[in-house]
Amino acid sequence: MRREKNGVAIAHCECVDSTNRILLENGKAPHLFTLVADRQTGGRGRMGRKYFSYEGGLYMSVAVSLEELNIPIHLCTPVASLAVFDSLTEVGCTDLKIKWVNDILRNGKKVCGILTECRTEENGMKNIVIGIGINLKEPIEGFPEEIKDKAGYADYNDDKMILAESIVRKIGDYIKLDSIELVNKYTENLAFLGQTVTVTDYSDGNRRFEAELLGVNNDCFMRIRLNDGSERLLSSGEILS
């Protein structure tokens, strides 16, 4: 099924392997074209992980055109985090925080993950796809053992297409913001701000250490203070807490 409303085209299907894979591998889609699935059999997560994509979630991928971006590509993930955060807040979901860089937590549990992927076509055109997975309801059979302590759900029971449309529209608006405005909005909702967290640094052999989370810089890199008092920026890593 495909619906077009005020310039936003959203296609909806029951089950695919990965909405990101489909949008990335099928040539350049129009700006903000969105594919929504009820389930995925090969949902892709960060760092090559699988993404648990059960019935009862929202799995969507949004095509973004480079020409429409006011911001650097690496800010697409923070943009999507904010769009999801604001859309869920608008439908009454409370106690949300953004966990750097791509997760939304509710009461400290992950309810949404975001994976931005980019592929360069033979003609040099870039396909940018923002993939978003949201746990809307509790899975009937519960979350799998390996994520059950960390996973939560938004408790959203209305039409998922309404939520998807709201997220796409906000992505369209936020990619036009200037980077500083965007980063300020992002920081306001950041989890663990001022707290000591355990961090994995992907750019340094996945080294793990403790640091104080100070915020993000204008590129949305994580700003941390190490135990020796020095400050550092992390562009690629993860907070483990």
By CB under 6 A, name the binding residues for ligand BTN.
Answer: 18-20, 40, 43-46, 49, 51, 59-61, 113-115, 131-133
d(Cα 143, Cα 54) in Å, to the nearest integer? Answer: 9
* E strand segments, 18-166: 34-40, 57-64, 96-99, 103-106, 109-120, 126-135
What's the gap between Cα 156 and its chain centre? 18
Residue 173 is classified by DSSP as: H
Report the residue number, 81 or 187, with the smaller CB distance to ligand BTN.
81
Report the residue number, 62 or 182, with the smaller CB distance to ligand BTN.
62
- Integer angstrom CA distances of residue 190 from 112, 170, 215, 216: 14, 18, 8, 9
For 143-158, give one letter per residue: b (16+ CB within 10 A) or e.
Answer: beeeeeeebbbbbbee
Minimum Å distance from CB 44 to ligand BTN? 4
Minimum Å distance from CB 115 to ligand BTN? 4
Report the residue number, 147 or 226, with the smaller CB distance to ligand BTN.
147
Tokens at 45, concatenated? 């997560």
Report the residue number, 164 or 175, with the smaller CB distance to ligand BTN.
164
Minimum Å distance from CB 181 to ligand BTN? 25
Residue by residue, what is the 3-state secondary structure of 181-220? HHHHHHHHCECCCCCEEEEEEHHHCCEEEEEEEEEECCCC
Residue nearest to ligand BTN (CB): 113
Report the residue number, 51 or 143, with the smaller CB distance to ligand BTN.
51
Report the residue number, 20 or 187, with the smaller CB distance to ligand BTN.
20
Minimum Å distance from CB 196 to ligand BTN? 23
Minimum Å distance from CB 53 to ligand BTN? 6
Minimum Å distance from CB 79 to ligand BTN? 15
- Mention every residue, 6+ apart, whose C-beta is less than 8 A from residue 54: 39, 139
